[in-house]
Amino acid sequence: MRALVIGGAGYIGSHVVLALCDRNIEVTVFDNLSTGKRENLDERAHFTRGDILLQTDLERVFQAGKFDIVFHFAALKAPEESMLLPGKYARNNITGSLSILDAMDKYNVRNIVFSSSCAVYGESRYIPIDEKHPLKPINYYGYTKLVIEENLSWYARLGKINYAALRYFNAAGYDLDGRIRGREQNPTNLLPIIMETANGERPSMEVFGTDYETEDGSCIRDYIHVNDLAEAHFQAMQYIMGGQKTLITNLATGKGYSVLEVIESAAKITGRAIAYHRADRREGDPAVVVAGTDRALETLGWQAKYSDIDTILKSMWKVYKH
């Protein structure tokens, strides 16, 4: 079995590469290293540097290997930035993905596992958010993911591909065996920011909004460990290649933690004081985002194993501790 992992030097991609190599799948990583890191590359995987926006790069990699499946992680992912620079997100996320589909078609690669996001749902109309929830993204980033999902659905309908669209909730944590150590630069997500505050790289952090209608007033999110995500990708591959053809599913735990709860747990795990101040709400942040997880269990038999918040934080502290 040969897999092409596009964006395989990045945060989630590199964890999936480990899971695939652990199962003796022959992996080629294709990455432009714009945010991905060489140090995240597993030596069992082949690496080819290239950009999904350059047709010559894509042709080169597809020509070189006869792939059974593509895993596609190469995307920009900051919702706030996407509202300021939609063109950048359109090019990288939408045009880039369509180019991949084009290359797959040309080189007869029939299977793709795509990184989607809970951002496709937008404001939650009800909790937990299951896959039947309306799809109304409230930021351009979420819109790009939805457009790609729609294209995947069309390509499948036209008989060109089998696909899995995996809607991640809040991905967090680092490989439990400590094999991935590349840190994201200038993170905007909560957990890396907490870690950088705990290790002293930031003097303090902000809690965006403490007047939400939640128990402690801060936002609640559903955090999922990357090792759990990686396992789900392997199972999704087996599912779509084993005759089921398509899968759209949430990947999450179904359990939420508030921002203040996470900070409190992190203070315990790290043994450091985490200075924070209460700030205004961040635009576009829903109060509660918690997933329905039945479909992943019913289709893949998958559920999170490593995603309690302490396990997530401990695995991150190993990487961030000075």
Q: Which long-range contacts (CB under 8 A, 24 or more apart) does 185-190 make?
A: 185/35, 188/78, 188/80, 190/221, 190/259, 190/262
Q: Find the part of the chain contacting ligand UDP (CB under 6 A) among 24-32, 68-76, 130-138, 182-190.
A: 182-190
Cβ 279 to ligand UDP shortest distance, Å: 7
Interatomic CA distance for residues 118 and 223, integer angstroms: 12
Q: Which of 103, 165, 251, 259 binds ligand UDP (CB under 6 A)?
A: 259
Which of these segments, 23-31, 57-65, 91-99, 189-197, binds ligand UDP (CB under 6 A)?
189-197
Which of 142, 168, 183, 137 is CA-nearest to residue 248? Answer: 168
Give the nearer residue to ligand UDP in terms of CB position, either 4 or 172.
172
Closest by CA position to 16, among listed 170, 228, 165: 228
Task: Give yes or no for residue 207 binding ligand UDP (CB under 6 A).
Answer: yes
272: nearest Cα among 173, 189, 174, 204? 204
d(CA 313, CA 59): 40
Question: Among residues 127, 160, 167, which one has the least CA distance to residue 245?
Answer: 160
Q: How far is the CB of 152 from ligand UDP (least distance, A)?
A: 22
**Per the residue annotation, which of 140, 141, 223, 276 is the catalytic one?**
141
Evaluate whether 28 touches 2 at the Cβ level (below 8 Å): yes
Which residue in this structure is represented by tokens 């302490």? Answer: 310
Give residue number: closest CB to ligand UDP. 219
| Residue among 163 and 168 whose Cβ is closer to ligand UDP | 168
- The answer to whether residue 170 forms part of the interface with ligand UDP (CB under 6 A) is yes
Binding of ligand UDP by 190 (CB under 6 A) = yes
Residue 19 CA to residue 309 CA, distance in Å, equals 21
Q: Which residue among 124, 189, 235, 244 contacts ligand UDP (CB under 6 A)?
A: 189
Q: How far is the CB of 225 from ligand UDP (least distance, A)?
A: 14
Separation of alpha carbons 117 and 166, rounded Å: 7
Dist CA 274 CA 205 (whole Å): 8
Give the pair of three-digit tokens for residue 120.
């496709």
Task: Give Cβ neighbours of residue 230 (< 8 Å, ≥ 6 apart).
Answer: 12, 15, 16, 18, 19
Q: Which CB atom, from 196 or from 308, has the smaller least distance to ligand UDP?
A: 196
Is residue 141 annotated as a catalytic residue, yes or no? yes
216 near ligand UDP, rule: CB under 6 A: no
Stretch touching ligand UDP by CB under 6 A, among 11-19, 128-136, 156-164, 205-213: 205-213
What residues contact residue 214 under an 8 Å CB cut-off, 6+ apart? Answer: 220, 258, 287, 288
Give the residue, chosen from 20, 109, 205, 309, that forms a contact with ligand UDP under the rule CB under 6 A.
205
C-beta of 78 vs 147, nearer to ligand UDP: 78
Stretch that binds ligand UDP, among 39-47, 121-129, 184-192, 297-305 (CB under 6 A): 184-192
Nearer to ligand UDP, 45 or 191 (CB): 191
| From 76, 164, 219, 226, residue interacting with ligand UDP (rule: CB under 6 A) | 219
Q: Give residues in contact with ligand UDP (CB under 6 A).
A: 170, 188-190, 193, 205-208, 219, 221, 259, 282, 285, 289
